[in-house]
Structure 1
Amino acid sequence: MDSVVGAMVGREREQELLSEFVTAPGGRALVLRGETGVGKSALLDHVADLATGEKHRVIRAAGVEAESELPFAGLHQFLYPLLSYVDRLDDVHRRVFDVVFGRDESTPPSVMTLGIAVLDLLSLAASQRPLLLILDDGQWLDTSSTEVCGFVGRRLTGGSVRLVVGLRSDIPSGFDTAALSALPVTTLSEKASEQLLDERHPGLDARVRRLVLDESQGNPLALLELPPYVERAGLDPTEGFGYTGVPLPLRLQQVYGSRIGALGDALRAELLRGALDGVGAGTAAGSTRGTRYRMRDADEAVAAGLLDIDPLGGAFVFRHPLVRSTVVQMATPNERRAAHAALAHVHRDDVERRATHLAASVIDPDEQVALALEAAAESATRRGGAVAAVAWLTRAAELSESHEDRSRRLGDAAFVAGHTGRLDRARQLLRSDTGSGTADSPASVVASAYAALYEDGDVRSSQHLVRAAIESIRDGGAREPSEVLTRLVNLLLAINQYASDEESWQRTHELIDSLGDLVPPYSRVYQDSWSDVVRRGAGVRERVERALADLRILEPWDISRLSVAAYHVDTLSQYRPHLQRTVDREVATGAKTPGMTMLHLIMLDQIAVGEWEEAERTGQRGLELMTSHGHALFAHHSQAYLGLLAALRGDTDRARELQATVDAWARPRGVGFLTQIADAIGTTAALNDGDYEAAYLHAIGITPPGTFQPYTHQASRTLLDLVEAALHTGRTEQARSHALAAQQARLPDLSPRLALLTYGALAMTATNPAEADTMYRRAETHPGAAGFPFELARIRLAHGIRLRHTQGRKAARHTLMIAAETFERLGTPAWAERARAELRTAGASAPAASAHPTTLTWQERRIADLAAGGLTNKEIGDRMHLSPRTVSSHLYRVFPKLGITSRAALRDALGKLSSDQDV
Structure 2
Amino acid sequence: MAGIAWRPDLTDTLRKGWQHACHGAGGTLVLLGDAGIGKSEAISWLAGFIGTPARLVVCQGGDLSAPMSAAAGIAQALGDDHAAARILGEIDPLQAAEALTGALVDRGSAGPGAVLIDDIHDADPASVTALNLALRRCAPGDVLVVVTGRPVPSAEAFAEGFPVHRLRGLDADGAATLLHQSSPVPIAGHVAERLLEVSGGNPLALTHLPASLSPQQLAGNQLLPEDFPLTGALHTVFTAQLARLSPESREVLELAAVSADGSWSLLTALRPGAGGRALTELEEAGLAGLDGGRLVLSHPLLRNATVNRMPRHRWRQLNLELADATSLPEEVRLAHRARGTTGPDDALVDEIAEASWQLRARGGAEAAARLLDRAVDITGDEARRGRLRVDAATLLAAAGEAGAARRRLQDVLDDPADTQPRTTAMLRMATLEALHGEPARAWQRLQEAAAGAAADEQGVVYATMALPLGMLGMVGEVGRSAEVAVARSRPGSPQQAVARVILAHAVSAQNEARANEIVETLHEAIDPAALIEVDPLVGLHLGRAFALAERYDAAATHLTALIAHSRRMGARASLAMAFGALGETQVRASRFDEAMDCLDESIALSLATGQRAFAPFWLSLRGRVHAIRGDDEAAAHDFRLGFDISDQQSTFGARYFLLANAGLAALLAGRHADAVTHLAECWSFEQISGLLAPQLARWHADLVEAYVALGRSEEAGAVVAHLREVAQTPGASRWTAATAWRAGAICTVARDPAAALDMFDRAIAGYDPETDLFDRARTLLDKAQLLESGPEFDRTLADAQYAVRRLGAGVWAARLTELSNPHLGPAVVDRLTDVERRVLDEVARGLTNQQIATRLHLSPKTVANHLYRVYRKLGVASRTEAARHVLLGAEPVG
Please tell me the TM-score bracket, short chain as reference. Answer: 0.5 to 0.7
Please tell me the residue identity of whatever aligns with 1:472. R
**Residues of 2 paired with 1:707 and 1:769: CA distance?**
34
**In the alignment, is the contact (CA less than 8 A) between 2:576 and 2:603 conserved in 1?**
no
Is it true that 1:631 corresponds to 2:659 in the alignment?
no
Q: 1:691 to 1:589 in 2, by over 3 A?
A: same
Counterpart residue number, 1:459: 475
Counterpart residue number, 2:724: 703
Is it true that 1:345 corresponds to 2:359 in the alignment?
no
Q: How far did 1:627 drift?
A: 1.1
Q: 1:301 to 1:345 in 2, by over 3 A?
A: same
Is it true that 1:418 corresponds to 2:434 in the alignment?
yes
Q: How far did 1:461 drift?
A: 1.7
**In the alignment, is the contact (CA less than 8 A) between 1:576 and 1:602 conserved in 2?**
yes
- CA-to-aligned-CA distance 1:792-851 (integer Å, 9 cap, x gap): 555666x65xxxxxxxxxxx626998995997234899xx9xxxxxxxxxxxxxxxxxxx
Counterpart residue number, 2:173: 12
Please tell me the residue identity of whatever aligns with 1:315. R
Please tell me the residue identity of whatever aligns with 1:322. L
Counterpart residue number, 2:142: none
**Residues of 1 paired with 2:783 and 2:237: CA distance?**
77
**Residues of 2 paired with 1:380 and 1:722: CA distance?**
51
Counterpart residue number, 2:511: 501
Please tell me the residue identity of whatever aligns with 1:736. D
Q: How far did 1:595 drift?
A: 1.6
Structure 2 residue corresponding to 1:32, chosen from 170, 183, 199: 183
- CA-to-aligned-CA distance 1:393-435 (integer Å, 9 cap, x gap): 7789999999776654653454344323344775698799899
**Residues of 1 paired with 2:686 and 2:589: CA distance?**
25
**Residues of 2 paired with 1:304 and 1:354: CA distance?**
36
**Residues of 2 paired with 1:423 and 1:788: CA distance?**
37
**Residues of 2 paired with 1:373 and 1:136: CA distance?**
53
Aligned length: 613
Aligned pairs for 1:757-906 within 5 A = 757=778, 773-782=794-803, 784-793=805-814, 813=822, 820=829, 824-826=833-835
Q: 1:133 to 1:769 in 2, by over 3 A?
A: closer
1:749 partner SS:
coil
Q: How far did 1:669 drift?
A: 0.8
Q: 1:403 to 1:429 in 2, by over 3 A?
A: same
2:183 partner SS:
strand
Please tell me the residue identity of whatever aligns with 1:356. R
Aligned pairs for 1:379-778 within 5 A = 385-391=401-407, 407-408=423-424, 411-423=427-439, 426=442, 436-437=452-453, 441-455=458-472, 457-473=473-489, 476-477=490-491, 479-482=492-495, 485=496, 488-489=499-500, 491-496=502-507, 499-502=509-512, 505=515, 508-509=518-519, 512=522, 515=525, 530=545, 533=548, 535-537=550-552, 555-576=575-596, 579-580=599-600, 583=603, 586-587=606-607, 590-672=610-692, 679-689=700-710, 695=716, 698-703=719-724, 710=732, 720-730=742-752, 732-733=754-755, 735-737=757-759, 739-740=761-762, 742-743=764-765, 745=766, 747-757=768-778, 773-778=794-799
Q: 1:263 to 1:445 in 2, by over 3 A?
A: farther
Q: How far did 1:699 drift?
A: 3.6
Is it true that 1:323 corresponds to 2:302 in the alignment?
yes
Q: Which structure: larger Rg? A: 1
Q: How far did 1:778 drift?
A: 2.6
- CA-to-aligned-CA distance 1:272-299 (integer Å, 9 cap, x gap): 633xx4x59xxx99xxxxx999996485
**Residues of 1 paired with 2:268 and 2:656: CA distance?**
51
Q: 1:545 to 1:630 in 2, by over 3 A?
A: same
Q: 1:621 to 1:430 in 2, by over 3 A?
A: same
Aligned pairs for 1:102-141 within 5 A = 133=219
**Residues of 2 paired with 1:711 and 1:256: CA distance?**
75
**Residues of 1 paired with 2:558 and 2:582: CA distance?**
10
Please tell me the residue identity of whatever aligns with 1:451. P
Please tell me the residue identity of whatever aligns with 2:494. P
Is it true that 1:313 corresponds to 2:292 in the alignment?
yes
**Residues of 2 paired with 1:602 and 1:346: CA distance?**
44
Q: How far did 1:469 drift?
A: 0.6
**In the alignment, is the contact (CA less than 8 A) between 1:673 and 1:713 conserved in 2?**
no
Q: 1:614 to 1:352 in 2, by over 3 A?
A: closer
Q: 1:711 to 1:293 in 2, by over 3 A?
A: farther
Please tell me the residue identity of whatever aligns with 2:302. V
Q: 1:311 to 1:640 in 2, by over 3 A?
A: same
**In the alignment, is the contact (CA less than 8 A) between 2:708 and 2:716 conserved in 1?**
yes
- Alignment RMSD: 6.2
Q: 1:601 to 1:658 in 2, by over 3 A?
A: closer
1:813 partner SS:
coil
Q: How far did 1:648 drift?
A: 3.2
**Residues of 2 paired with 1:253 and 1:321: CA distance?**
11
1:316 partner SS:
strand
**Residues of 2 paired with 1:781 and 1:436: CA distance?**
60
**Residues of 2 paired with 1:719 and 1:789: CA distance?**
25
**In the alignment, is the contact (CA less than 8 A) between 1:459 and 1:495 conserved in 2?**
yes
2:484 partner SS:
helix
**Residues of 1 paired with 2:691 and 2:318: CA distance?**
54
Structure 2, unpaired ranges of 5+: 1-35, 37-167, 197-208, 324-330, 336-354, 569-573, 841-861, 866-872, 874-894
**In the alignment, is the contact (CA less than 8 A) between 1:260 and 1:327 conserved in 2?**
no
2:494 partner SS:
coil
Q: How far did 1:459 drift?
A: 1.0
Q: How far did 1:634 drift?
A: 1.8
**Residues of 2 paired with 1:292 and 1:605: CA distance?**
53
**In the alignment, is the contact (CA less than 8 A) between 1:421 and 1:629 conserved in 2?**
yes
Q: 1:516 to 1:401 in 2, by over 3 A?
A: farther
Is it true that 1:45 corresponds to 2:192 in the alignment?
yes
**Residues of 2 paired with 1:623 and 1:470: CA distance?**
34
**In the alignment, is the contact (CA less than 8 A) between 1:344 and 1:355 conserved in 2?**
no
Q: How far did 1:596 drift?
A: 2.1
TM-score, scaled relative to structure 1 = 0.52
Counterpart residue number, 1:273: 258
Q: How far did 1:314 drift?
A: 3.7
Which deviates the most, 639-648 or 458-467?
639-648
1:782 partner SS:
helix
TM-score, scaled relative to structure 2 = 0.53
Q: 1:502 to 1:344 in 2, by over 3 A?
A: same
> How many percent identity over aligned positions?
15
Please tell me the residue identity of whatever aligns with 1:779. A
**Residues of 2 paired with 1:435 and 1:670: CA distance?**
27
**In the alignment, is the contact (CA less than 8 A) between 1:496 and 1:504 conserved in 2?**
yes
**Residues of 2 paired with 1:253 and 1:425: CA distance?**
43
Q: 1:8 to 1:570 in 2, by over 3 A?
A: closer
Q: How far did 1:12 drift?
A: 3.0
Structure 1, unpaired ranges of 5+: 20-29, 50-61, 69-73, 79-131, 141-219, 227-247, 286-290, 801-811, 833-853, 858-896, 898-919
2:291 partner SS:
coil
Q: 1:524 to 1:598 in 2, by over 3 A?
A: closer
Please tell me the residue identity of whatever aligns with 1:600. S
1:592 partner SS:
coil
**Residues of 2 paired with 1:730 and 1:487: CA distance?**
50
